[in-house]
Amino acid sequence: MAAGKWLPSAQLTSSGRPVLLPGEVECSTLSSVDLECEENSNFPNFKSGVLILTTHRILWIDETNNKGAASIPLGAVTHIFSLKKSIKAMFGKPKVRFQVSAAADGRVDEKGSTSIVITLVLRGKSDPDVFYSRFWEVWRSRSWEVLNIAGDSDSRLERSGGSMEGSSVVRMPVVGISGILRKEQELWESTDKSLQDAFQDLNALMSKAKEMVMLAEKMRLKLLSGSTSQANAANDDDTGSKQEMQDWLLSVGIVSPVTKESAGALYHQQLSRQLADFVKLPLEKAGGMIALIDVYCLFNRARGTELISPEDLIQACALWEKFDVPVMLRKFESGVMVIQNKSHSDEEVFARIKSLALRPNALWTGINPSDAATTLGIAPALAKEHLLTAESQGLLCRDISPEGFRFFINVFKDIEPNNIYLVKEHGIYGTWVSATTAPG
Amino acid sequence: MQKLGDFKLPHFFNYPPYFTLQPVKDTRQKQVQLWKELILDYCRTQKIFVIGLEDDFPLFSNSAIERSLSHEARDIFLSGLVSDGRAEWMDKGHKKCLILWLRIQDWADCILRFVKDNGLEDSVMTVEEIRSGIESRGTELHGMDRTVLMRALRMLEQKGKLAMFKGSSADDEGVKFSA
């Protein structure tokens, strides 16, 4: 969009949630916010969008069309004006003004030589004082610098490493077994320290949460590279446990959970979008459909803190209808709720159920939900829903006996009512008869 | 193939879902249809006129697969026959069901054929004689249900094909066939 010229654009996920930078955490979300710049007459219309204040940026997202988003790095902010307390300000829409560095042509730029004033007009019902104080807090904490410095030092190291032959930089040699051991030792010590710090008390844990997620991510990557290089190793046990470890680490990671505090009135909307992004991976693993209760567990485990309630989850899922997301909530007749890909087709599942029900054994004794669960690789409760749906489509028939509730392939369709003794050679009834009639 | 006495059972009699009421509409329809056919077939060959819902009716259970019909299922299948005009409930409680594997009209035709074949025009018989007498032996009328027979006779009486009158004993009635 046109904003790209004046403000850096921000990336969005397919469900319309911002893609956050490493270490970036959302702090506040406001709806119906205008972005204005009086000094620049060419400044485009930023009307009534969603404003997200993060530890690194101010993001402005146009909700009406998915054209993208604009961002203002907090590093460019040079001053935040205090709120006006005049009579006029009391009756008008609350405004928050701040000064940002800009290039000579008016483009917002951290290293710009001039500066412009940007005004946020809060049309929503949000409290400007709360936002103002949070804005201040975030701006003052300068958390975007922490990572930048880390990144800088990394790249400096690389540069110096690359030009080794030219300069005579004296570094501790990382060579031989002792070098590797020492490096491992250092890594262990720092890891150990951050683990110890984290568990000292709950407050410390909260502040360490971000670091822990980063650590987990790092460990995952290491495991990943380790397992590929040792793919040929016959040590199945080891790779199995590595896989498990990886899965655990993977489910650690929502760095910036949408909370009631940060998103306010937009809580469910933002939660809904975040959830849509989150379920992609578990959905893929579960074969396109996953029970809502499982998502609840996974999602809250990934959030770690700031757990959501079941009602929040259902509301968030219900909102998907309004957004263009690739997943949907589905309610089976029995009331069981699942999340599935919009592209998920029952046909495929039915085909597999049918082939299961046509196995010689199943023709004799039928199938039950746990058989189907094993074949389909899903939870028995979900398998039962599939069987019931297949039954309602006329694929299966039920058999209720003291032995339990079982399903058989539907042969009724194939029987000629005018001649009940007729067995057509081809067709499911014929298959069933030949499988269940003892030869001779 | 399994047999019930001298009655040959169809293959699907060993299909377990046949004995469980199917909840899906299309499947249920087919199931009811197959039950109706089987019940009529069985009653016709075994000359059964009355099915008691609480009795052990041989068709309603299959020891080979250890399945039997629930009371609800029996009621539904027989009600299906009733709505087809092939059966009638004999009481309001749906405890006994009269099976008409031949409709009353068909029975009436049978009687007329019997009269004609035996040259019984203008002669007199008791109702009991028609059911169990020497003349009817070997015909479909032999051993038929008294209620069904009486209904067929009354139908013929209305059409003027015969006249009915009280016999000497209180429990029997006479029939005079008209020419």
Q: What is the pLDDT of residues A86-103, one digit of tens each?
A: 666 667 778 888 888 888
Interface test with A, best of B24, B26, B67, B81 (most A CBs within 10 A): B24
Pick the CATH number of B104-177 from 3.50.50.60, 4.10.95.10, 3.40.50.150, 1.10.10.10: 1.10.10.10
Q: How far apart are CA A398 and CA A334, in angstroms?
A: 16
More confident call, A222 vs B159: B159
Residue A167 has pLDDT above 60, yes or no: no
Q: How far is A418 from chain B (nearest CA, A)?
A: 8
CA proximity to B11, closest of B46, B38, B50: B38
More confident call, B174 vs A150: B174
Using an 8 Å Cβ cutoff, are A258 and A268 in contact? no
Domains in chain B: boundaries = 3-99, 104-177
pLDDT of residue A367: 92
Confidence grade of residue A440 (pLDDT, cut at 50, 70, 90): very low
Confidence grade of residue A44 (pLDDT, cut at 50, 70, 90): confident
Q: What is the mean pLDDT of residues A165-180?
A: 56
Chain-centroid distance of CA A164 in Å reads 42
Which residue among B20, B26, B41 sits closest to A399, beta carbon to beta carbon? B20
Name the residue in chain B with its Cα closest to that of A389: B24
Q: Which of A61-65, A201-205, A291-295, A376-380 has the highest mean pLDDT?
A: A291-295
Q: What is the mean pLDDT of residues B163-175?
A: 75
Q: What is the ipTM of this complex?
A: 0.83
Name the residue in chain A with its Cα closest to that of B2: A437
Cβ-Cβ pairs closer than 8 A, A with B, add up to 73
Q: Tokens 């004794």 identify what position?
A: A365
pLDDT of residue A225: 67
pLDDT of residue A195: 65
Confidence grade of residue A149 (pLDDT, cut at 50, 70, 90): low
Which residues of chain B lie closer than 8 angstroms to A398, CB-CB?
17, 20, 22-23
Which residue among A394, A401, A436 sits closest to B67, beta carbon to beta carbon? A401
Q: How far apart are CA A195 and CA A186, in angstroms?
A: 14
CATH fold of the domain at B3-99: Arc Repressor Mutant, subunit A (1.10.10)
Using an 8 Å Cβ cutoff, are A106 and A117 in contact? no
User: Given an 8 Å threshold on Cβ–Cβ distance, is A410 in contact with B27?
Assistant: yes
Q: Does B142 lie at the interface with A, CB-CB under 8 angstroms?
A: no
Q: What is the mean pLDDT of residues B28-51?
A: 91
Which residues of chain B lie closer than 8 angstroms to A440, CB-CB?
none
User: Given an 8 Å threshold on Cβ–Cβ distance, is A415 in contact with B30?
Assistant: yes
pLDDT of residue A150: 52
A312 contact partners, CB below 8 Å, separation of at least 6: A267, A268, A271
Confidence grade of residue A162 (pLDDT, cut at 50, 70, 90): very low
User: Given an 8 Å threshold on Cβ–Cβ distance, is A394 in contact with B15?
Assistant: no
Q: What is the mean pLDDT of residues B98-104?
A: 88
Q: What is the mean pLDDT of residues A70-86?
A: 83
Q: How far apart are CA B135 and CA B115, in angstroms?
A: 10
pLDDT of residue A156: 42
Q: How far is A395 from chain B (nearest CA, A)?
A: 10
Residue A201 has pLDDT above 90, yes or no: no
Which residues of chain A lie closer than 8 angstroms to B22, CB-CB?
397-398, 412
Q: Does B2 lie at the interface with A, CB-CB under 8 angstroms?
A: no
Q: How far is B30 from chain A (nearest CA, A)?
A: 6
Interface test with A, best of B22, B32, B36, B42 (most A CBs within 10 A): B22
The first and second tokens of residue A324, run together, are: 């263009």
User: Given an 8 Å threshold on Cβ–Cβ distance, is A391 in contact with B41?
Assistant: no
Which residues of chain B lie closer than 8 angstroms to A394, CB-CB?
24, 26-27
B4: phi then psi, degrees, rounded to nearest 5: -125, 95
Least confident of A26-35, A124-133, A219-228, A387-396: A219-228
More confident call, B67 vs B121: B67
